Amino acid sequence: MHLAVILVFLSLSGTAGESVQRGWTLTSWDRESFFHQGDAILGGIFLLHSKMVYSTQIFTKAPQPASCERFQVRFFRDMLALVFALCEINHQSELLPNFTLGFRIYDSCYTERRALEDVLRLLSGGRQTLVPNYNCQAQPDLVGIVGDALTSTSEVIARILGNYRIPQISHGAQHGMFNDKISFPSFFRTVPGNTVQPYALVQLLHHFGWTWLGILASDNDLCDWSSQVLKLELERSGSCVAFLEKIHDSYSWEKIEKIVEVILKSTANVIVCDGYNVHFKPVLESLLRHHLHGKVWIFSPKFGMVESLFSKEAWKLLSGSLALIIHTGEMPGFKEFLYNIHPATYPDSVFVKLFWEEVFRCRWPEAHFQSYGDGKRMEKLQFCTGEEKLHELDPSIFEFDDFSYAYHAYLGVYAFAHALQDLTAGRLRKGLLSSGTSDTIYNIHPWQVLDYLKKVHFITRFKEEIMFDVKGEVPAVFDILNLQILPDDTSKLLKVGQFESRPSHREEIRINVSAIQWTKEYAQIPRSVCSDSCPPGFRISLQQGQPNCCFDCVPCPTGEIANETDAAQCWECPEDQWPNPERTKCLPKIVEFLSYQDPVSIALVSLAVLLFFITLYILCIFIQQRETPIVKANNRTLSYLLLAALMLCFLCALMFIGHPLREICLIRQSAFGVIFTISVSAVLAKTITVIIAFNATKPNSQLRRYVGPRTPIVLVVSCSFLQILLCIAWLLVTPPFLKVDAQSVNGKIIIECNEGFDGFYYCMLGYLGILSLVSLVVAFLGRKLPDRFNEAKYITFSMVVFLSVWLSFIPAYLSTQGKSMVAVEIFAILSSSAGLLGCIFLPKCYIILLRSDKNTKKHINVKSHPSRQC
């Protein structure tokens, strides 16, 4: 089965030999490799050329081999990282001390067919004769392969090696398909897979608060998938994508211009480029022609920050951009190693000579590697002498700013070395080998290395933890670079942060914002939002037909708050709390009742106490002067009763002040109604008694037989009894109760007495008003009776005052709330009671205290009537 597959591949590639020879071998053209002998061989497949040219097939003679062109120094540098790592390991005493690791490296030449042939050569021990089923002529010294950097070539290698469980560590393939351990059981990689890159980009964007973004993605399957995941994750986290455009270097000019027009019209200040630099180049050149400025570019790890690919002006356009690249750790001595590379050091390596030709623009006289270059181009160049100095070249030739792939090839070598170390240590523990023997590395099969590679776990010299998870991946670490254009027009990529995702701690992003140099349009962190954030106290109101990031800010309704920026909704405060004026937090509501500390309460209490003592003083005067004519006039018993009732009225006002209690709420209105009814009934009794008495003195009057000393008391009791019955019914049916009202007045909790059924309360006031009106009418009718001191006219004035107060009280009472309503009622009680006291008793007190000469029978001229008997 394996032989058939390989035959198909080789027949398609055109690299098969003329015939299939005996022993199941295939003859192929010789391929140059970079080889160094060791006790064990580590294979390497690297991308050294970026183009493969095939000869025209003429069927009259044997086909000519394809040639590789466009030697890439940066990829050659990545290959040298493997050589450098092996040199370090072979010179260490603590890692694999008893044997050396060699290497055999091939060039994949950016094509799958060359990568397939390279892996078959490694399995065949580097022979010209390929062994499809290499177990027939096994090479026990091969322990594994490092490479390749491309996904397409790595897939070809992995599918072959997976059949035989030979471990492969790629230093650049990032496609998510390699996570499938059924299809790729022996594949590992030291770079994070592309599945984690969108999440790292989202973390970076969120760190700066950028929520309105554009995305440019290369038009291929890999970038299409990652850009869609990026868009989905951004929208899931609350950000919005203004546009998502596909780019490619093969697009027509019209299509490029349409993409540029979208970018120019967009209000997004931050654009993510999740694609390759060659695809982005035509878009950037067009943006340069349109003089685009003020955009911040964010590049994914796929991009590759290669200055030489762009013009100087276009490169300046990217100033201030951020690039997420695969993490590069420390490789002490690697730069010096690069500068010490010389063809004399590796005389058998064609790759070193090709590198020398590329950087010094010369050619070697030898022609044995002519298939690796364009012969016509080389004829125009001078010959290489080997005396050229690498130190005299521009340092940018090695692209020191980005060692990401070189570093991960370096890590791959160390991962193999530690797996071999663990394997040999395990053999020693099991007693299969004796300590110090030189054959510990022999008889090791690649599948055994694979088992230990899965469990390898080591710490680099710079405290970086390396291990593979079940998917064959190392912990995801990305460096964040800032492209800075210096005043002398040179540029540098400065590391300003890092994104790390390890099992020991969750995803973490660290950025030194102060080290970032933004584009000249921004003095501080740029902003990229569709709508400005809604401050606390406001909520988001989405604009119809627009993405979620485009919204208006609406103030929270009354009674609700928003205590965070960009709140999706407002929240109601608890019943006992109320928003502050800014509606950003809930504050305890003010508990409101007419307390004794309130200035209004102090004034009312003072007035009530003063009137109480004035009334008490008048009562004392009347008791002391009870035998004087003015006291005896108009029934002194009723006067005593009225003064006592007025005293209670003043004290009754105090029941309305202070924190309401359930018991006080139950009786205060009833007590007020009964006491005032007694007062008004006493006034009515005094008035009726006077009228009846004077009418009884007329000749032939029949009233004398019906009028006696108990008539006024009976009248008072009768009138009060109806009010008492009404109040009892009130207390039995719907009694007043204590009420905590947190809704009626904003920001306040009103503690008040609820009167229960308001009908009873107004019936009580209505009955009191009827008695007052009757008293007013009767007093008005009796105001002109021929008594020298007739109380009827004073009672008339008092009842006018009384009714005026209570008629004014009703609308004022209904239009107020809380403690103001209680204060209005107390004022009505005090003022109406004071009106009765002043109008009825002050004239008598004036005569008693100041005009005692008029307090005689002569002046009073009291006629004979029933009240005289009192």
Pick the more confident residue, 285 or 811: 285
Phi, psi (deg, nearest 5) at residue 623: -65, -40
Q: What is the pLDDT of residues 151-174, one digit of tens each?
A: 999 999 999 999 989 999 999 998
Of 514-518, 623-627, 640-644, the least confident: 623-627
- What's the pLDDT at 18? 38
Long-range CB pairs of 348-355, under 8 A, 24+ apart, other chains included: 348/35, 349/34, 349/35, 350/32, 350/34, 351/32, 351/34, 351/48, 351/76, 351/79, 351/105, 351/107, 352/34, 353/384, 354/48, 354/71, 354/76, 355/71, 355/73, 355/76
Alpha carbon distance 69, 54 (integer Å)? 11
Q: What is the pLDDT of residues 648-667, one digit of tens each?
A: 999 998 998 988 888 888 88
Residue type, 376: K
Strand pairing class (101-107; 40-46): parallel
Contact between 526 and 211 under an 8 Å Cβ cutoff? The reply is: no
Alpha carbon distance 440, 38 (integer Å)? 14
Contact between 787 and 777 under an 8 Å Cβ cutoff? The reply is: no
**Quick check: 11 pLDDT over 50?**
no
Pick the more confident residue, 487 or 86: 86
**Quick check: 95 pLDDT over 70?**
yes
**String of b and e for 582-606 (b: at least 16 CB within 10 Å)?**
ebbebeebeebbbeeebebbeebbe
Alpha carbon distance 144, 155 (integer Å)? 15
Q: What is the pLDDT of residues 170-182, one digit of tens each?
A: 999 988 899 999 9
User: Residue 567: helix, strand or coil by DSSP?
Assistant: strand
**Quick check: 137 pLDDT over 80?**
no
Q: What value does the mean pLDDT take over residues 692-707?
A: 56
- How would you classify residue 24: left for phi > 0, otherwise alpha for psi between -120 and 50, otherwise beta? left
**Quick check: 312 pLDDT over 80?**
yes
Of 101-110, 317-326, 371-380, the least confident: 371-380
- What's the pLDDT at 124? 82
- What's the pLDDT at 431? 62
How do the residues of the chain divide into helix, strand and coil, expressed in percent and rounded to 5? 45, 15, 35
Structure tokens given for 761: 């309360």
Look at residues 239, 171, 248, 161 and name the one whose alpha carbon lies nearest to residue 205. 239
- What's the pLDDT at 778? 82
Q: What is the pLDDT of residues 255-288, one digit of tens each?
A: 999 999 999 999 999 999 999 898 999 999 999 9
- What's the pLDDT at 370? 44
Calculate what percentage of the chain has a pLDDT beyond 70.
85
- What's the pLDDT at 700? 55
Structural domains of the chain, with CATH = 2-55+69-193+402-467 (3.40.50.2300), 197-300+305-330+475-515 (3.40.50.2300), 538-588 (no CATH), 599-869 (1.20.1070.10)
Alpha carbon distance 866, 742 (integer Å)? 59
**Quick check: 844 pLDDT over 80?**
yes
Pick the more confident residue, 674 or 691: 674
Alpha carbon distance 401, 307 (integer Å)? 10
Q: What is the pLDDT of residues 193-209, one digit of tens each?
A: 888 889 999 999 999 98
Which residues fall within 8 angstroms of residue 757, CB to CB, at 6 or more apart?
Answer: 730, 733, 734
**Quick check: 9 pLDDT over 80?**
no
Of 115-124, 305-314, 788-797, the least confident: 788-797
CA dihedral over 860, 866, 867, 870, signed as positive or negative: positive
**Quick check: 24 pLDDT over 50?**
no
- What's the pLDDT at 861? 54
Alpha-carbon dihedral of residues 836, 838, 840, 844, nearest 10 degrees? 160
**Quick check: 457 pLDDT over 90?**
yes
Surface-to-core class of residue 293, CB atoms within 10 Å of its CB (0-12 exposed, 13-18 middle, 19+ buried)? exposed
- What's the pLDDT at 707? 56
- What's the pLDDT at 783? 67
- What's the pLDDT at 6? 45
Pick the more confident residue, 524 or 431: 524
